[in-house]
Amino acid sequence: MPMMNAKEYEESLKKLNLVVYMFGERVENVVDNPILRPSLNAVAKTYELAHMPEHEDLMTTTSHITGNKINRFTHIHQNVTDLVKKSKMGRLLGRKTGCCFQRCVGMDSMNALSIVTHNIDEKKGTEYKKRFLKFLEYVQENDLTCDGAMTDPKGDRSLPPHKQTDPDLYVHVIEEREDGIVVRGAKAHQTGATNSHEIIVMPTVAMREDDADYAVSFAIPSDTQGIYYIIGRQSCDTRKLEGGNMDQGNLYYGGQEALVIFDDVFVPWDRVFMYKEYEFAGQLVESFAAYHRQSYACKVGVGDVIIGASQTIAEYNGAEKASHVKDKIIEMNHLNETLYSGCISCASEGHKTPSGTYLVNILLANVHKQNVTRFPYELARIAQDIAGGLMVTLPSEKDLESPETGKWIEKYYQTKPDVNTRDRMRILRLIENLTLGTAAVGYLTESMHGAGSPQAQRIMIARNVNMDEKKKAAKALCGIIK
């Protein structure tokens, strides 16, 4: 089948029978719900750009299974160039949408499984890789969006899965059948889950033998019986219900997260990619995390938007020539391009694994993501500094449209003669959205906690740095060793 376009993607979601709850009520029309729709639009952009000649090189590639042209989000990395293009694609889409476009986690899940299923088969004589490749071909040929589901609620963090008071706080197998398994549990913080055709479940931590029932990975259609979605709240989310097209800031795109419940869900054997191979759980977590930490190239694209908005509001305010404003814009670009350097470097230093799949440099991927936990917050702080207090005291769009108050807003919020007051309000709302509102979930908080906590990255940095080599270099230069 040819790659889907944006409209075909939307139509494919209408065919799903998802059970979604928001604000305590069932969402009957997930596709057209005004709160959820911007997140769908962001995913649709990944389909739209794949059909544009100017973006074809980044957005598409050739399947190593079928030789057919496919969307890069369904691809398994075959060389370092694939890894670099992935980073560049992330920046492009971040700039185009100003938010999370949600397909990275599925791509990263599939690449991690490509490596780990091979490794399990080599040691255990299983056939997980064969099952995975069959699933991958299905995803590629139908151009599907996959949600990668790793994060469990975890309960008491001091206890392993099997010692939790409630065993369902980690996804686990509750029944083994001749034709498959039955699983129960939940996955939290699932970005774009309701915009996905498939849910790919992975373990969330390294495990020991007592946790074997929790060492499970599988893929299942997103509308499988027993799967329920509860949409998380975001700051300013109900602005999308108010009508108008100014107060929400980003008029077209956004993100959403869900708690995904697996209430005794049946999974056939041909969709199971790990079952009780607990010794490989940590390997899958680390491989996925490395890929996904590279994926934060998207924050560079969103950073481009924040910098552009900051420069624009400085010009609208008549402050663009002030030396301190110029210096702040330079600092924003310095921070953003430093982030870009990180995601490109971990891709450029990638290597071929025994499975044939290329993996990023794990050390540099974690260094990159550690920077992502910090620099976006400074970018947001500077943007708010340049924007001024009006960003958070601005009256509503309805006040602007009101015959009683609109004339005063137009009068008292004007700046230079050639600056339209409405345009000034629009850019201020965008900065608010990016640094405080719904987009801040996908920019700031996701920069901090996405792909694991900052401490998880520091652990991986410590684990992957060759300290002996550094000590040897120092000792050689001062004569301790020769």
Q: Which sequence positions are flagged as catalytic?
A: 100, 104, 191, 257, 292, 296, 298, 446
Q: Are 71 and 115 in contact (CB under 8 A)?
A: no
Rg of the chain over Cα atoms, rounded to whole angstroms, equals 24
How is 101-170 classified by DSSP, letter by letter? Answer: -S-HHHHHHHHHHHHHHHHHHHHH---HHHHHHHHHHHHHHHT--EEEE-----SSTTS-GGG-SSGGGS
C-alpha angle with apex 423: 417 to 428, nearest 5 degrees? 115
Q: Are 83 and 358 in contact (CB under 8 A)?
A: yes
How is 376-428 classified by DSSP, letter by letter? Answer: HHHHHHHHHHHH-THHHHPPPHHHHH-TTTHHHHHHHT--STTS-HHHHHHHH
Q: Are 68 and 141 in contact (CB under 8 A)?
A: yes
10 Å Cβ neighbour count for 156? 11
